[in-house]
Every structure is written in structure tokens, then in C-alpha cells.
């Protein structure tokens, strides 16, 4: 698989998480969702983690170890998000985005790991 394909995935992931991180702070709808999930106390932490992960992926283009760290962290965050969606019985359509981002960031992580091993 070409590295430019991976670069596009990294850009897609980074901008997505920067967007969703900001939404965690400013979107009334996101605040309602965190309340509905009964984890409103973690909204700011999740938003910060998303911003750090998204920014880390961008920094990773210049300092590659950041790609490894950010993609790993975002994979864990999205795995937990998927598990939460399943636990609150959100259904397949609402659960798919977290699974999708988990798979993308896991792919980025393992692809990067493969290049350094």
C-alpha cells in the first residue's frame, strides 16, 4: 500500500478529531449526547484527548513518533467509544463511526509500527 494513501488517512483522521474535539466544547448537541451516555464528567477530557490526538497526527508528519503515539491513543479512545455505544444500545448506525475511526487509527498505528520494526 502506498504511503500517500496512509498520509491521506492520517490527514482525514487528524482533521476529524480536531473537529470533534472542538465540538465537544462548543456543540450543545454533543453536550446532550455526553449527558445521555451518562458520562458528562468526561466530556472535556474526551475533547482534549481528541484535540491532542488530531494535532499529534499532524505533528507526526514532521516528528514521526507522534504518529505512533497519536494513532494509538485515538484507537483506544475510539474502541472505548464503540464499547460505550454498544453498552447504551445506540444501534449499528450510531456505533459504526466509532468502529470506523478505531479501524482507521489502528491501521495507521500498525502500519507505522511495521515500518520501524
Q: How confident is the model at residue 2 (pLDDT cuts 50, 70, 90)?
A: low
What pLDDT score does 3 carry?
74
What pLDDT score does 117 carry?
82
Contacts 24+ apart (CB under 8 A), 80-89: 84/37, 84/39, 88/36, 88/37, 88/38
Across 36-40, average pLDDT: 96
Percentage of the chain lying above the pLDDT 90 cut: 94
Name every residue whose Cβ is closer than 8 Å to that of residue 37 and which is 6 or more positions away in sequence.
84, 88
pLDDT at position 1 over 60? no
What pLDDT score does 16 carry?
98
Across 80-99, average pLDDT: 95
Amino acid at each position: 500500500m502506498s504511503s500517500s494513501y496512509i498520509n491521506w488517512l492520517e490527514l482525514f483522521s487528524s482533521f476529524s478529531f480536531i473537529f470533534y474535539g472542538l465540538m465537544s466544547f462548543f456543540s450543545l448537541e454533543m453536550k446532550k449526547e455526553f449527558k445521555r451516555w451518562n458520562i458528562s464528567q468526561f466530556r472535556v477530557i474526551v475533547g482534549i484527548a481528541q484535540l491532542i490526538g488530531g494535532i499529534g497526527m499532524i505533528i507526526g508528519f514532521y516528528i514521526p513518533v507522534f504518529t505512533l503515539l497519536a494513532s494509538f491513543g485515538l484507537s483506544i479512545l475510539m474502541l472505548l467509544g464503540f464499547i460505550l455505544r454498544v453498552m447504551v444500545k445506540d444501534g449499528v448506525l450510531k456505533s459504526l463511526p466509532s468502529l470506523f475511526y478505531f479501524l482507521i487509527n489502528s491501521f495507521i498505528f500498525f502500519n507505522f509500527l511495521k515500518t520501524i520494526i
